[in-house]
A and B are shown apart, each in its own frame.
Chain A
Amino acid sequence: MKKLISLLALTLLVLSGLTACTSTPKTIKIGLNLELTGEVSVYGVPEKKAAELAVAEINKAGGIDGKQVELVIYDNAYDTAKAVENSQKLIQEGVVAILGSATSAPTMAIGPVALESEVLTITPSGTNAKVTMNGDVVNPFVFRACFIDPFQGLVLANFASDNLSAKKAVVMGSNSSDYAKDLASIFTTQFTANGGEVLSDVFYYADSDTDFSAQLTSIAALGEFDVLFVADYAARAGLIINQARATAGLETVAIVGPDGFESPDLNDLAGGASNVNNVYFSTHFSTIVDNAKVTSFIAAYTASAGEAPSALSALAYDAMYMLFAAIDAAGTDPVKVRDAMKATTGFEGVTGTISFDALNNPVKSAIVVQLTNGEQTNAVIVNP
């Protein structure tokens, strides 16, 4: 009898010891290192809200492998030193991976920390090409959920060829920014590869120009063409749209441009919404795209955040779900999570279908939005 009691006691002891053991890693910690205050908090705050939504959803569905996900949130205030400190703190607290930062500069600062401590960081929206690089080689522990700027040139060329059935295009762009120059050259290469013809060389202008009438008159004199590609931001693209619509021969030609077109000022700068017809631009995310996943995301985000989602929230939401998938596949060892992340293929997110290339940049579809009378009237998904 005594033996039995002691055996029972031992069993209880062992069992309690077992429960004590399993109780510590019951949650999976994911760190957020975002700009929640300061001049670019408009980027960080929606990304935090999206991450919280993703975590709430996965926990409600039973967590990952039966474990609940816990967010550890630090604000870096768009300060590179603070961002580094945050990442170090998060890694000490045992996070499996880090989401951040929203903009390129802090993300570049935390890249070396991620590499050194072998905990991956994924930026939802840092578009600088150098973000995923460590010098000349790729930083294996930094990923991003958004496409980089030049990639849009490729997508837009495909859009012009396939969706607009364009055969001839003319390219304009500012010669003062790499953004414009890269986009112009990649669009030209891809459009030509698609069997199209780019009339004349790129029509370059200076950032300070406001009068494009001379160039537009020369462009109109090239003869009929299908697409005018304007590689620039709204500040000049708006003026070009306005002046093109007043140029004989260019009143209705399709004008296509990158995400720089996406600005609340575009219609005003184009001389009124009535000038903004047959204008298309690429973007990461659109609320009017016809996709069940996007629709349910919009509803859930609007309910939890109290506002409609932006591209930033959509990208952060996808980044979180990619992390969940990687953790689901690899467990909680940060290095294995990184390997699983790298192996992501055909991930279905709200911003497109995502895989990673050799430089940890996503190969994904982009959204091309059509503007009619200044309103977003149609959005299509274009694959690279």
Chain B
Amino acid sequence: MTQFIQQLINGLSIGSVYALIALGYTMVYGIIKLINFAHGDIFMFGAYVGMVAITTFKLNFFAALIVAMAVTALFGVIIERVAYKPLRKSSKTAALITAIGVSFLIQNGTQLIMGANIYAFPQIIANQYFDVYGVRINLLQLVIFFTSIILMFILQFIVKKTKLGRAMRSVAVDKDASVLMGVNVDNTITITFAIGSALAAAAGIMVGLYYIKIYPFMGFAPGLKAFVAAVFGGIGIIPGAMIGGFAIGLIETLVAGYGSTLYKDAVVYGILILILIVKPSGLLGKNVKEKV
């Protein structure tokens, strides 16, 4: 039983990371119906910015987190303006293929600048652990878990309660009508990219702190898993991305813990196929109009 609870905690920590990345996927999809395959690489970019902020500019954890989120948000905006905006009127397939191209560009560009070798993320938060009834909880696990929960609530608040959020939801429902109502569609989309990228940067730093190893292709697998998480929860729905992230993390950990690590990816992608067959709108995907 202790072992099972321990595995649940392991699963929730990796699930928090997937959830943070999935939030970015789901926001972008909710607004412009684009699956931004470069999102996993934006996450990697955030981890590198965080590392440089800590090692080169000697920033502390929170300063580095904020700097990385800001720089990565800007990076997300540039990507949107350069690669996606010119294609807004073209077919969805064109935008999707561009996203894959951007993904390769970021991966290989990082490899060119930083080298292909792995870096160890500086450990600026000393890891501690607490034993609660024989179950071990890491400080970093708590940091990751609560950061993702807090960011999700902030996001939910922005989308539901602010003017910007209302603009986002209106663009999601009907772009042309939003323009007629005086919503600046371009700016709204840009801000969505900025927020999604900032969240990915936060996830990148969490992963750097918790898993230490960072390298140019680190965004690929978590990016795909987060995409599965977003679909699982209902793509375009913020709480859905969160629930999907935790679910994927838990499933993966339980498969690895009680079966074999080698099957865990197969199970995760198997779930994606099942969901697409059984309930393509995802776990929470009922109200089509409420997407953001």
Contacts and interface: CB of A to CB of B under 8 A. Distances in A.
Contacts of A235: 118, 213
A213 B134 contact: no
A151 interface: no
Interface string B7-22: 1001101100000000
Given A238-B120, A268-B120, A205 B261 contact: yes
B221 A217 contact: no
Interface string B131-150: 10011101000000000000
B3 interface: yes
A221 interface: yes
Contacts of B260: 204
Contact of A239 (B213, B221, B262): B213
Contacts of B118: 235, 265, 269
Nearest to A219: B257
A214 B127 contact: no
Contact of B3 (A210, A211, A218, A265): A218
Nearest to A274: B126
B250 to A, nearest CB: 10
Given A218-B3, A271-B123, A206 B212 contact: no
A175 B213 CA distance: 19
Given A209-B261, A246-B136, A247-B136, A217 B211 contact: no
Nearest to A270: B212
Contact of A217 (B6, B212, B213): B6
Contacts of A214: 7, 10-11, 252-254, 256-257, 261
A242 B262 CA distance: 21
Interface string B110-125: 0000000010100100
A355 interface: no
Nearest to B249: A211
A291 interface: no
A271 B127 contact: yes
Nearest to B215: A235
Nearest to A210: B211
A346 interface: no
A203 B262 CA distance: 10
A235 B214 CA distance: 10
A215 interface: yes
Contacts of B134: 248
Contacts of B14: 211, 213
A265 B129 CA distance: 24
Nearest to B221: A208
B221 A218 contact: no
Contact of B10 (A213, A242, A270): A213
Contact of A238 (B212, B252, B261): B212
A272 interface: yes
Contact of A246 (B120, B129, B218): B129
A265 B120 contact: yes
A215 B129 contact: no
Interface string A221-242: 1000000000000010011001
Given A214-B257, A272-B123, A205 B3 contact: no
B41 to A, nearest CB: 15
Interface of B: 3, 6-7, 10-11, 13-14, 118, 120, 123, 127, 129, 131, 134-136, 138, 207, 211-213, 218, 221, 252-254, 256-258, 260-262, 265
10 contacts: A204-B260, A204-B262, A210-B207, A211-B253, A214-B10, A235-B213, A239-B211, A248-B135, A270-B212, A272-B123
**Which 6 A/B pairs are nearest by Cβ-Cβ distance?**
A268-B120, A214-B256, A214-B257, A213-B10, A248-B136, A221-B3
Given A211-B253, A235-B213, A269-B212, 8 more contacts: A206-B265, A210-B218, A214-B7, A214-B11, A217-B3, A218-B3, A269-B120, A271-B123
